[in-house]
Structure formats: C-alpha cells, structure tokens
Chains A and B, each alone.
Chain A
Amino acid sequence: MKPPLEYVSLTIDLLPDAPTLAHYRQLIQDDIMGKVLNSLVVAFGSTFLALLAGFPAAYALVRLRLPKRLDTIFLLFVLVIKLSPPIVLAIPLYQVLRTLGLLDTLMGLILVYQVYALPFAIWMMIGFVRDVSVSYEEAALMDGAGLFARLVTVVLPIMMPGLIATSVFLLILSWNEFVYALLFIQTPSKFTLPTYIATLITEDETFWGRLAAIGFISSLPILALVGVVQKGLTRGFAGGLK
C-alpha cells in the first residue's frame, strides 16, 4: 500500500543527503509528537461528538414517527453541506468560535468539524439503524426496557460493525481536514499534522526529508485503520449470520 512513499524516497536519494533517522530526530525536535497528539485528540474528539449527537438523531429519523417530509429535508440538507465549499462557512464560523471563546483551541476545532462529521455520521448510521430488526427491540420492550436501555443494550451492540465503519470514516475525515485547521488555529504548538505539513511545504526551503518522514507518519494510522475495519467488519457480519 505504500508505493507513492517509496517514490518519494527514490527522489530524495538523488539528493546528496545522508539518509537514516536524522529527519525523524529533527521532527522530534519540532515537537512532532505534540502535533500527532493534537491530530489524535481532534480526530477522536470530533468522531466521539459526531457519534454522540448523530446516533440518537439517526435512530429518531428511522424509528420514530416523524413527519415524512423531515426525511427529504434532511437529505437535501446533507447534500447542501456536502456541496458547499468549507471556506464559505469559514467567516461566520470564525465569529461563532470567537464568541464562544474557542478560537485557537482544539475544542473549537472539534466543534467546527461537526459541520461535516455530523451529517455524514447521521447519513451513514441511518442505514445501519434500519438494518436492526424491530422485533429485537419489541422483545426488549416487553421485558420492560426503557428507550435508553434499549438503545444501549439492543440497538448499539447489533449495529456495532456499522458503528465501527462510521467511526473509521469520521476519523479519517478529521485526521485529514485542512481548511478549518488552517484558519482557526494560530499557535504552532496546536497545529494538527496537515497544517504542520503545509508549513513545511510552503516555506521557501522545502524540507524533503522531513516531509517524507512526516508523510509516512501521518499515512500510517489511516492504512492501519483501513486494515482494522476490514477485519472488524467481516467478524461483525459473521457474528450476525450465526
């Protein structure tokens, strides 16, 4: 899965530059772990928030008798968000964050990522909630389980594979996000990986070695995630079929 990265290292070998781990050492001096940590915090934070707000909403849209038109409105709404360029909402969002005092904070970034993460999460989970048979829930209702108990003990475990798949997509989405991270974070120590890479690229002297190293670091989790989810998904489906 890594041929592009090998290509880069090929071009770099053409430079009269001694290879080995020097670039990684430089990155560590640059507080790379801090940036990785920021990226992790933002990715997991926004994924968690999107699932937390999105799962009940997806459940309500599928199971509760809501006005029919709400479905269509929601679909159109998701479309508009998917299609509108991130920069378009950036100016008012800047104001929102400033008012909340969340400008230049990772919390603010987690919140702002919901612009894309939340509709996407609901969109995906609607499908998975639909796949959970109502009869399971009715059985639990007979046993006197309340709504909350049913959600936690019946619906969530059954749709776990779907939940994992949704989380993986959300994690990748936030891990790679660039525009809002660029606009709403000013302090270098709070940069996420994509904005940090951008500073390396746009500086006059481009640091090829460090770029290759960081490209490798930032691609690794995604490749790992894709691998994990493949395994998790098949296991989940196999369990469901028993």
Chain B
Amino acid sequence: MKRPRFTSMLLLGPAAALFALLTIYPLGRVLILSFFMTEYGFEGATFVGGENYQYLLSDSFFQQATWNTISFTLMATVSEVALGLMLALMVSRRFPGRWLVIPTLIAPFVLSTMVVTAIWRAWFHYDFGFLNNLLRTISLSPVEWLFDPNLAMISLVLVDLWQTAPLTFLILLAGLQSIQPETYEAARMDGASPIQVLLTITLPLLIPHMLLAALLRSIDSFKIFDKVYALTGGGPGMATETLSMYVYKLGFKFFDVGLASTAAVVMIVVAGFLAAIYAVYIIKGRSRVA
C-alpha cells in the first residue's frame, strides 16, 4: 500500500513529538548541564568544561556509591539466577500440586515494589520481625538487618532476590521446557547418571537462558532506587548508597544540578555499555528468545 509522505508524518508525529520532548531533549540537556557548575537549582550556571567529571571521579562519595552499585548488582544477579535455576529444576518435572506451586512462586513478582518493601520492613523488624524470630528459634542472637552497616546491603539483596527470582525462574523454566525430551532419552540410553545428565546436558543447554536472565537482572539492579529509598535511605552512613540514590540526593536534596547531571551522564554511559551487550545478544539469538 503506497501512501504519500504526509500520512506517515501524521501517524508518527505524536509519538515523535513525545519522544523529542521527553527523551531526546532531556538527554541532550543533561549532557550539556554536566559541563556546567550551578549554584542553586538551575540558577547561575557557569561553564566549567570537564571540571565536574574530574571532581566526581575523585569524590570519595561517588566512588563509594559506584562500588555499592557494582557489589549490589553482582550479588543480586548471581543469587537471583542461582535461585531461579534451582526453582526451575525443582519444578520442571510434573508432581501433584504443581499448578498451585508455580503461581505461588510467581506471586512476589506481581506485587508493587512499595508493597514488597513494606512486607520486608515488617520482616526485618528487630523486635517483632519474622526473620529475627527465626534466628531466635534456632537460638542465634537477633540482628539489625537494616541498621548494621555490614548487613544492610545483604538485606537489600534479599528483598530484591525475593521479588525478582520469579522472573529468572520463569525464563529458566521456559528454557528447560524447550530442551527436547529425546536428548535426555539418548543420554539415559548411554547410561548417564542423573547428575551427569544435569552437568553435561541440562546446564550447557540452559546457558543462553541463564545469560539472558543475568543480563536482564543486572540491568535492573544497576538502576536500583526505590528499595534503597524506602528501606535504608542509603544508610547507615554510606553503606547502601547506590548511584541512583547519589544522583537523587545531589539533584533533589542539595540542588547541585550540574554535578548531579555529570553523575547521570556517567550512569548513562554504563547503561549504554550494558545495552550494547544486550543488543548484540538479541541480534545473535533473535529466533531463540522472545
């Protein structure tokens, strides 16, 4: 169907206008602002070249936030893929009550993040929380889940794990179900033990799905903001301050818009790097993964 150019303009126009206003302009704006020093909010902007970048890279708070983000992303991604894999392997075979188990496992993923944090806030409670009660029943001393600097980050990972392991579980379950039954039969004919089958057939065939799950989770973990905001506020001290939290505090608490923009640009660059991996992955395996 051939159509004049006017029609395509008409159809694409509204979406293009929204993109320009809400994404392209802000991206350009944040890039420009990152080279300016601002006094309060957007006032008194003076061009300082790369000075913000220099300052940022030597700023110990920024370094700490970067390190926290990296360690959170690594811990969350690895634990979520591992737990998802375990659950998928356990559920992949048919057993009575399976129809009930799968929705139960997926339930946390459907909840809003704020509801999830509220639930965990209760579980983390020092006196009444479910987790400390658990510790007491196995006669260990209760701990300050969110206020111990050594523990706070792990607590955040736990919350993230609980909420998003269902996603990795679903991806890996789909992966397991796409493996042909004949492959297993052939292995069994050759006298392979269940553990051999797992190590030499199931896991290698699942690697693409594990990579996809890890990639999706690392991208989301890198962005983490809402759980940190609601559970620890970045504290105690700087123990759970992530990059998103750092940008938020600079821009919306201290109104240092210039420096906040610089940090934002650094985040975009890192995200772009992850995006590149993802894009290569999609193009390579387009037929395999939805």
Seen from chain A, the residues whose Cβ lies within 8 Å of a Cβ on chain B are 1-5, 7-8, 10-12, 14-15, 52-54, 56-57, 59-61, 63-66, 75-77, 79-93, 95-96, 111-112, 114-115, 118-119, 122, 134, 137-138, 141, 147, 175-176, 178-179, 182-183, 193-194, 197-198, 200-202, 206, 208, 211-212, 214-215, 218-219, 222-223, 226
Contacts and interface: CB of A to CB of B under 8 A. Distances in A.
Nearest to B107: A1
A29 to B, nearest CB: 19
Contacts of B274: 83
Interface of A is mostly: helix
Given A87-B244, A200-B118, A222-B112, A96 B1 contact: no
A98 to B, nearest CB: 9
Contact of A111 (B1, B2, B22, B116): B22
Contacts of A95: 29, 42
Contacts of A141: 1
B261 A91 contact: yes
A81 to B, nearest CB: 6
Contacts of B29: 91-92, 95
Contacts of A8: 118-119, 122
B22 A93 contact: yes
B130 A59 contact: no
Interface residues of B, number: 72
A88 B231 CA distance: 21
A219 B11 contact: no
13 contacts: A1-B110, A4-B116, A8-B122, A56-B15, A64-B11, A88-B264, A90-B248, A92-B26, A92-B33, A95-B29, A96-B22, A111-B22, A214-B118
Contacts of A15: 128
B247 to A, nearest CB: 5
Given A14-B128, A52-B14, A194 B114 contact: yes
A202 B230 contact: yes
Interface in B165-212: none
A206 B229 CA distance: 15
A118 B19 contact: yes
Contacts of A214: 118
Given A7-B130, A54-B15, A89 B23 contact: yes
B264 A87 contact: yes
B25 A201 contact: no
Contacts of B1: 63-64, 134, 137-138, 141
Contacts of A178: 113-114, 225-226, 229
Contact of B219 (A60, A77, A83): A83
B225 A88 contact: no
Closest 3 CB pairs of A and B: A92-B26, A57-B15, A92-B29
Interface string B209-248: 0000000000100110110011101000000000110011
A206 to B, nearest CB: 6
B251 interface: yes
A142 B26 CA distance: 45
Interface in B3-44: 3, 7-8, 10-12, 14-16, 18-19, 21-23, 25-27, 29-30, 33, 42
B138 interface: no
A11 B130 contact: yes
A116 to B, nearest CB: 10
Nearest to B112: A176
